Structure 1
Amino acid sequence: MAARRRQGERAGLTADQVLDAAVALAERDGVEKLSMRRLAAEVGVEAMTIYHYVPSKDALLDGIVERVVAEAVRVPPDAADWQAMLVTYAYDLRASLLAHPSVVPLLATRPAVTTATARIVEGILEALGRAGLDPVNGLRLVHALTALVIGQLTTQGDGSDAGDDLAVDQERFPLLSQAVAGGAADPEARFAFAIEALVAGAAPAAGD
């Protein structure tokens, strides 16, 4: 016998589908315009019905953050190469946020503190612990990587750099002009440099 639906629930609708719709709605209209009423209309239920699937607006925002972070961490923590694991995490998080740009400011202001995201971080900390990094510094490293990813995406904008305007005056700013001409403003190269430097700098703390 099929399970009876609670009053107000729609047949065939799941919490995962509601979160998928929330992410899509945030991408289309922006997180700031996301509301429980608009989400309910998006999935075709009455406003109060949506609370059967997501208990509050805060829970909805947490669910969106969880979705993006969980999408980013696809590779199990690898104790044999913890540095590669962290680099993979950073690149996957960046790719996920590039796919969901409207979620970037949400993740920047809302810590990922759900059970699912805690499980992800726990696995990373276990791998870092086997490499000799204690949980305190391990979590600091994860936070630093996450902040670096969010920070670059937040300031990247359309890919332009403030130094580009100054580069035209080579006599006044010769070093800056040389740096920009050499590709220092390229977001891909800048990201790779920052991530590799951050992870390499953590090696002594991990016993390497």
Structure 2
Amino acid sequence: MPRKRGERAGLTREQVLDAALALVDRAGLPALTMRALGAELGVEAMTVYHYVPSKEALIDGMVERLFTAAHPAEPGPDWREHLRRYAHDLRAALLRHPGILPAAVRPATTPATLDAVEAGLRALTGGGFALGTALDILNTLTLFVLGHTAAEVGIGPEPPAGLAELDEARYPLLLQSLRSGAGTDDAARFTFAVEVLLAGFAATLPVFFSAAVVVEKEPE
């Protein structure tokens, strides 16, 4: 039986998506075309369509690769640990592939991405959150990770030029921070913010409010 178009290449969908990520990291998202991706893989552009039917599906698949790598496959017994791992793994994946950041805000559409979201929702609803609140929490945390990582990539590791020449009398605390490094570590700031978000999410649990109810004093 003759093989279908694309099978001669000996590729997998995952290899195609990873090659697309590498291309975007090197040349930027505007440079991503089926022809350019085919050249990256050493195949004709039509072969790429065997694995992804359109450029939109290709970009959705690239986003899928990042989010499924970050989301734990199954919800654990502790929703905090599930979200903590997700946040740190997603940041790491985005820092490895910063070229995809402009497209990372796309809604989840592929089955694998939706499976990852479902696992997060199971972790949160299993921890006592209402479904709507659980979805709000996932979206809030995801948008924070995307924004923080985009800022890290855009600003870079070095402080903006000219800050070291600030007026000492006017900006003593800013200069002290620059010289000591206090508050300038991206990873430490990210970890701090994630822990604050987790604490805030926990404070919305119904059990938190019921435990905080003041018991009326019995009449003497």
Distance 1:75 1:117, change over 3 A: closer
For the structure 1 residues 91 and 8, does the alpha-carbon distance in structure 2 shift closer, same or farther, using more than 3 Å as the test? closer
* In 2, Cα distance between equivalents of 1:133 and 1:164: 47
Structure 1 position 178, deviation (Å):
4.8
The answer to whether residue 195 in structure 2 is matched with residue 196 in structure 1 is yes
Q: 1:170-189 to 2 correspondence within 5 Å?
A: 170-180=168-178, 181=180, 183-189=182-188
Amino acid at match of 1:186: D
What is aligned with 1:151?
A: 147
- 2:75 touches 2:123 (CA, 8 Å); kept in 1? yes
Paired amino acid for 2:50: H
Mapping for residues 65-84 of structure 1, pairs under 5 Å: 65-74=63-72, 76-79=74-77, 81-84=78-81
TM-score when normalising by structure 1 = 0.86
Q: 1:100 to 1:171 in 2, by over 3 A?
A: same
Are 1:128 and 1:138, in contact at CA under 8 Å, matched by a contact in 2?
yes
Shift of 1:35: 0.4
Q: Is the 8 A contact 1:166 1:173 kept in 2?
A: no
Report how many aligned residue pairs link the two structures.
Answer: 204
For 1:87 and 1:51, the matched residues in 2 are separated by 37
Using structure 2 for the length normalisation, give the TM-score.
0.82
Give the 3-state SS of the residue equivalent to 2:14 in structure 1.
helix
Equivalent in 86, 89, 94 of residue 89 of structure 1:
86
Question: Structure 1 90/52 Cα, relative in aligned 2: closer, same or farther at 3 Å?
Answer: same
Long gaps (5+) in structure 2: 209-220
C-alpha displacement at 1:193, in angstroms? Answer: 1.4
**Does the CA contact (< 8 Å) of 1:125 and 1:139 recur in 2?**
yes
Using a 3 Å threshold, how does the CA distance of structure 1 residues 162 and 7 change in structure 2: closer, same or farther?
closer
Bigger radius of gyration, 1 or 2?
2
**Could you tell me which of 93, 103, 107 is aligned with 2:104?**
107
Note if 1:26 corresponds to 2:36.
no
Equivalence for 1:58:
56
What RMSD over aligned residues (CA atoms) do the two structures have, in Å? 2.4
